[in-house]
């Protein structure tokens, strides 16, 4: 029994040394989109604003909101207050193996964020946009497509496509 305990302790110690070789991410390590928007810590714990589907991209999406965004959505408050952040998680749409007439999320495509800061992002309706693929920000050319689309299509909803689904 003593031999097994010694072996287990040695393996755990070795594992600790191996994992300590990977640097822990710090705020300075978080890659920012060309707009300065970063992936907010804990966004996967935010509440669901609404699901969506985009047939032309064959995607299923879920839009999440931080507490500030959710409070504004529930109160039907427009424009959104500074500090509101919306996240869009997008997956390829695939047929369910269990239920023939159903689609489910497949491979993740990207995550996108809209961050409200009226002064910092005055030129883009008060919103900063961030698009990330595999945790890395998309290039400036891709980011340049966000604002024109929002400006052209959803000016009357503070430039936000998604409506709250209670």
Note the pLDDT tens digit of each residue in 126-161: 999 999 999 999 999 999 999 999 999 999 999 999
Q: Tally the domains of the chain.
A: 1
Burial level of 156, CB count in 10 A (0-12/13-18/19+)? exposed
Burial level of 121, CB count in 10 A (0-12/13-18/19+)? buried
| pLDDT under 50: residue ranges of the chain | 1-28
Residue 32 lies in a domain: yes
pLDDT value, residue 29: 52
Range of the domain at 96: 27-157
Residue 55 lies in a domain: yes
Residue 9 lies in a domain: no
pLDDT value, residue 94: 95
pLDDT value, residue 63: 98
């Amino acid at each position: 029994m003593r031999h097994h305990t010694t072996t287990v302790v040695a393996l755990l110690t070795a594992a600790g040394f191996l994992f300590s070789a990977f640097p822990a991410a710090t705020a300075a390590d978080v890659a920012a989109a060309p707009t300065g928007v970063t992936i907010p810590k804990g966004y996967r714990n935010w509440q669901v604003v609404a699901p969506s589907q985009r047939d032309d991209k064959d995607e299923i999406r879920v839009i999440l909101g931080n507490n500030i965004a959710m409070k504004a959505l529930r109160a039907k408050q427009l424009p959104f207050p500074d500090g509101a952040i919306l996240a869009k998680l997008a997956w390829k749409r695939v047929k369910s193996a269990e239920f023939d007439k159903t689609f489910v999320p497949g491979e993740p495509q990207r995550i996108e964020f809209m961050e409200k800061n009226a002064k910092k992002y005055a030129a883009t309706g008060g919103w900063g946009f961030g698009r990330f693929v595999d945790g890395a920000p998309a290039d400036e050319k891709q980011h340049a497509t966000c604002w024109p689309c929002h400006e052209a299509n959803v000016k009357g909803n503070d430039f936000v496509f998604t409506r709250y689904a209670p």
